[in-house]
Structure 1
């Protein structure tokens, strides 16, 4: 469910206030933790996929169909987790954490934040103009 315009404005104001008050804390909230967590989850899914292959093959060798089915389901679930997690992982050079400039971004991160805020403000102005017409 998308946020209403008022809720989006309030959220933007809170974000600006957080950055103005304590930019170091704000950047630490969105730094590399997302990339590290997502990458770790993808690696776990890959390991689970290998375990699923082992169960599938073991079930085939032991002629236990239920074990093969369990192995296949584990493989399928781990493949879904790995693919969706891999898509969500920000690129290595991008420290945005999916939203804004992150830790160590320095001037580049501030520039990214400003450009993002400019885009948001432009959209907001267009919506207000469309509503007024």
Structure 2
């Protein structure tokens, strides 16, 4: 069921508010997470090999082999669900092409917000009420 024009406008306003309030979170949510098929193949092989070692270790009464098999299976499953690492140098690129690590001063400074008595949920409710009142 498609959204109405009003719902689309409200959604766009919420997106813009998110981008202005927390640009780092907005870029994280917009970024697509591409995972290599090789990652899944290797993880699957690890799980199958780990299961095989576990069964052989139990049947041969070799506890250490069963433990190695279990660890290998666990590592295969963890590899599938782990977030991919960022590629390339991390930090601020200087004019000469070198990369400097991030420091708090190199990030864009955000103005300090005055703390309200209710915290995060109170601010959300207050903003919601303001938007609802603007729509009238």
Question: What TM-score does the superposition give when structure 2 sets the normalisation length?
Answer: 0.36
Higher helix share: 1
Question: What TM-score does the superposition give when structure 1 sets the normalisation length?
Answer: 0.37
Work out which structure has the larger RCO, using CA pairs closer than 8 Å and 6 or more positions apart in sequence: 1
- Whose Rg is larger? 2
